[in-house]
Amino acid sequence: MTDTQTLEATTSDDQATEVEAIEEPKSFTVTLNVRRYDPEADDEPKWVDYDVEMYPTERILDALHRIKWEQDSTLAFRRSCAHGVCGSDAMRINGRNRLACKALIKDFDISKPIYVEAIKGLPLEKDLIVNMEPFFDSFREIQPFLQATGKPEKERHQTIAQRERFDDTTKCILCAACTTSCPVFWTDGQYFGPAAIVNAHRFIFDSRDEASQVRLDILNDKEGVWRCRTTFNCTDACPRGIEVTKAIAEVKAAMTSGRVS
């Protein structure tokens, strides 16, 4: 065996030893306290404890799956992509609106129960599921689609700056985390809510759109942007990092100045 071959063999053995030395992650028991409600059996929601064996890299969504698949198949919750894109699994976790698929177990104090409940302000249907129709009614009312007259003969161009003007609010995934974290929405279900205003912002400041004033008129209502109390709950709750409160302030400024720029 040559010196080179000997060195390669030694290096390979050292690497194998390092791999063997890496310990498998250890599991631990986590207690999830889930607010359960079955409209066919319960007069009021109730809290139910579940002990679940978990790993630090797993998520609250994984814990809910384990409960449903291994302990109680009646547990009801929404989820779809499980990667923070669809927005289906927004819920209150330890009093804060989050996506269950983005909430890592290791980020919680596992010496205490983790409280999981449905988002607030929308009608509770079962367990962690709420009726989203009032939320989507507000979304539809602000006309969340591009409106431009005439059939274009070529692509409608935008400068980089024009695109950046509304880029942040294009990130919305309609999870309702922002709207259902808003204390005004909790007490007044007629309020448009942050998500609807964010999606209005996305088109109000789009240089290609011709219905900005229409949307501003819709939101210039007693249940529109002026109900916002700037508590920043919505910004804190957004799983996409949208500056929601800033977007609402920009819509207010456009109303008072009469300028969209």
Give the residue, 11 or 77, on which the prediction is more confident.
Answer: 77
Whole-angstrom CA distances from 140 to 135, 152, 158, 186, 220 are: 9, 25, 25, 20, 16
- pLDDT for 150 equals 84
Whole-angstrom CA distances from 121 to 76, 129, 164 are: 18, 12, 32
What domains, with CATH codes, occur in the chain? 28-130 (3.10.20.30), 133-148+157-257 (1.10.1060.10)
Query: Which residue is listed with tokens 């104090």?
Result: 109
- What's the maximum distance between 2 C-alpha atoms anywhere in the chain? 85
Whole-structure pTM over 0.95, yes or no?
A: no
What would the pLDDT profile of 88-115 be if each residue is shown by its tens digit? 999 999 999 999 999 999 999 999 999 9
- pLDDT for 188 equals 87
Name every residue whose Cβ is closer than 8 Å to that of residue 223 and which is 6 or more positions away in sequence: 188, 190, 191, 192
- pLDDT for 8 equals 53
Q: Nearest CA to 97 among 159, 26, 185?
A: 185
- pLDDT for 151 equals 86
Q: Nearest CA to 128 among 115, 142, 138, 118?
A: 118
Asked if the model's pLDDT at residue 21 lies above 90, the reply is no
Instruction: Place 25 in a pLDDT band, splitting at 50, 70 and 90.
Output: confident
- pLDDT for 27 equals 93
Instruction: Place 24 in a pLDDT band, splitting at 50, 70 and 90.
Output: confident
Rounded Cα distance, 238 and 155, in Å: 32
Report the pLDDT averaged over residues 172-181. Answer: 98
Instruction: Place 17 in a pLDDT band, splitting at 50, 70 and 90.
Output: low
Q: Nearest CA to 144 among 192, 73, 199?
A: 199
Q: Nearest CA to 206 among 256, 167, 149, 155?
A: 167
Name every residue whose Cβ is closer than 8 Å to that of residue 35 and which is 6 or more positions away in sequence: 45, 46, 47, 48, 115, 116, 117, 118, 127, 128
Instruction: Place 49 in a pLDDT band, splitting at 50, 70 and 90.
Output: very high
What would the pLDDT profile of 214-261 be if each residue is shown by its tens digit? 999 999 998 999 999 999 999 999 999 999 999 999 999 999 998 787
